[in-house]
Amino acid sequence: MEYATFGGGCFWGVEAAFGEIAGVTETAVGYMGGTLENPTYKDVCTDGTGHAEVVHIAYDPSKVSYQKLLEKFFEIHDPTQFNRQGPDYGTQYRSVIFFHSPDQERAAREAIEKLGGSGKFARKIVTQVVPASAFWRAEDYHQKYLQKRGLTHCHI
């Protein structure tokens, strides 16, 4: 197994989208990139901890490539919105790729460069590419939130 971590706004919809991909063996929502140890949802929602809402993914690279995960990431959110997605705003909703290896960093930066030059977006891509740090699993009620409610997607 290998791991990938993405923040693309509210983690519920991001988790649901990645959970549908063959080769993704596990998803968990949580927080990464901040300064507070073991943050709660309430802490992160203050927009003062520096954490992003993220989906931490375990995947089998023999069944799905990191490149395919990047493609899905850029399909499911607007990477040109700074610190927001749809009606949700704050640094916890930023577009961010937390890389777990130099190969992931290189692939992420190349994907952003290619997408930025494609003309698909009128505005500049603001997705951050930063090293993965401690992953803090969100509270149980956030895990598979949409699936538990019989939903496939949220407002984004």
What positions carry a catalytic annotation?
10
Tell me which DSSP letter residue 14 carries: H
What 41-49 contacts at long range (C-beta under 8 Å, 24+ apart), as own/partner pairs, is 41/138, 41/139, 41/142, 44/92, 45/90, 45/92, 47/90, 47/91, 47/92, 49/92
Q: Which amino acid is at 38?
A: N
